[in-house]
Amino acid sequence: MSSRSRHTMMPKGLMMPLCALLLLLPVKTSAASDRLENDSDSIPSAGLVGDRGDEDFDSNLVPLDSELALPRQTSTDIQPTHETDGAMAESSAASESDDQTARSSDPEGDQENDAYNIPVVIDPVVESHLRFFHTSIRDRFEQWLLRLSRYRPLIESIFAEFDLPSDLIYLSLVESGFNPYAYSRAKATGPWQFMKTTGKTYGLRIDHYVDERRDPIKSTVAAARYLRDLYDLFGTWPLAMAAYNAGEGKVLRALQKTQGETFWDISKTKLIRPETKHYVPRIMAATIIARNPDRYGFNHDTVPPHQFEEVVVDRPLHFRAIANLSGIPYEELRLLNPELRRDATPPDDSAYHLKVPVGTAEKLRQVLDRIPTYKFPPLPPQTKQVRAETSRWYRVRAGDTLEKISKRFRVPVKTLRTRNNLSRPFLKAGEMLLIR
Contacts of 143 (CB under 8 A, 6+ apart): 177
How many Å apart are CA 115 and CA 103, to the nearest integer?
A: 5
Q: Parallel, antiparallel, or unpaired: how do β-strands 62-63 and 182-183 relate?
A: parallel
DSSP letter for each residue of 132-184: IIIIITHHHHHHHHHHHHHHHHHHHHHHHHTT--GGGGGHHHHHHSS-TTEE-
147 versus 25: the higher-pLDDT residue is 147
List the chain domain ranges. 25-296, 309-370, 393-434
pLDDT at residue 382, as a whole number: 63
Contacts of 4 (CB under 8 A, 6+ apart): 310, 311, 312, 361
How many Å apart are CA 115 and CA 327, to the nearest integer?
A: 47
Phi first, then psi, for residue 414 (nearest 5°) are -60, -40
pLDDT band for position 318 (cuts 50, 70, 90): very high
Question: Which is it for the CA torsion 112, 118, 119, 125, positive or negative?
Answer: negative
Name the class of domain 393-434.
Answer: alpha beta
Query: Comparing 257-266, 321-330, 334-343, 398-407, which segment has the lowest mean pLDDT?
Result: 398-407
pTM of the model: 0.72
Average pLDDT over residues 333-361: 96
Is residue 126 scored above 60 in pLDDT?
yes
Give strand ranges (E) for 24-127.
62-63
Query: Comparing 7-21, 234-248, 309-323, which segment has the lowest mean pLDDT?
Result: 7-21
Q: 36-61 pLDDT, tens per residue?
A: 333 333 333 333 323 334 445 566 67
Q: H/E element holding 222? A: helix 216-234
Is residue 67 scored above 60 in pLDDT?
no
How many Å apart are CA 141 and CA 172, to the nearest integer?
A: 12
Percent of the chain with pLDDT over 70: 72
Is residue 105 scored above 60 in pLDDT?
no
Is residue 436 scored above 80 in pLDDT?
no
- At residue 352, the 3 state secondary structure works out as strand
Name the class of domain 25-296.
Answer: mainly alpha
Average pLDDT over residues 408-423: 85
Is residue 430 scored above 80 in pLDDT?
no
